[in-house]
Amino acid sequence: MEIATEELYEQLEFRENPLYEQIISDLLEKQYAVIDSFFDLVEVEALRNSLLQKYEEDNFKKAAIGNRTNELVLKSVRGDFILWLNEAEAGPAERLFFNKINALVDYLNKTCFLGILTKEFHYALYPEGTFYKRHLDTFQNDGRRKLSLVCYLNQEDWKPENGGELVLYKEKNGVEIPESFFPFPGRVVIFESQLLEHEVKPVRQERLSITGWLKTR
């Protein structure tokens, strides 16, 4: 049987991806998606080592509240240290990270008309005893943030007793339903930046991650 050339091209151009489809349907249904093992443990280790090396080299800065016009460091709100990633200067670990993220973004743009044009990501390190109080990621008057994305880079033996869970405050029919997720390595949580308030509970052991935003411009 002959396949029309046009049809063949379409098949080559676009391949349905079950993992991405699951993410999309979860986002539509629940405003968030949790993917365990989005990154495998080898990838997590490479990213963790890169994070720790840059942290030891003193490249991180105390995270601030608000955007550039409204900079204010408030220890009572968040206690993490961050380092923004520059895709153009990515090392091998970060290259691998961006390749995976870009594949997802391409798929979202092809299938969901989300119009993601830019992205921003930073490493984050929460020292023992720190947290990030309940907030909305667009409170920093950044309405361009569409999707928030957090990737956890902790050790394989991360235990619930270590705390540091991400709590998403979902609202259903006027009732608030908090949902907690532990920062297990390789796990990625994606959620609607403009809809879901969330917080990071106090950590009892250093907590490592990459956080970022997919933006409309």
Ligand X SMILES: O=C(O)CCC(=O)C(=O)O
Binding site for Fe ion (CB under 5 A): 137
Q: Which of 130, 154, 162, 211 binds ligand X (CB under 6 A)?
A: 211
Judge contact between 148 and 191, C-beta under 8 A: yes
Closest residue to ligand X using C-beta atoms = 166
User: What whole-number distance in Å separates Cα of residue 89 and Cα of residue 95?
Assistant: 9
Give me the 178-197 binding string for ligand X, x by CB under 6 A, dash otherwise.
--------------------
Which of ligand X, Fe ion, none does residue 166 bind (CB under 5 to 8 Å by kind)? ligand X
Contact status: 150 vs ligand X (CB under 6 A): yes
Nearer to Fe ion, 43 or 192 (CB): 192
**Smallest distance from the beta carbon of 40 to ligand X, in angstroms?**
20
**Smallest distance from the beta carbon of 200 to ligand X, in angstroms?**
5
Give me the 130-149 binding string for ligand X, x by CB under 6 A, dash otherwise.
--x----x------------
Judged by the rule CB under 6 A, the positions of this chain that interact with ligand X are 132, 137, 150, 166, 198, 200, 209, 211
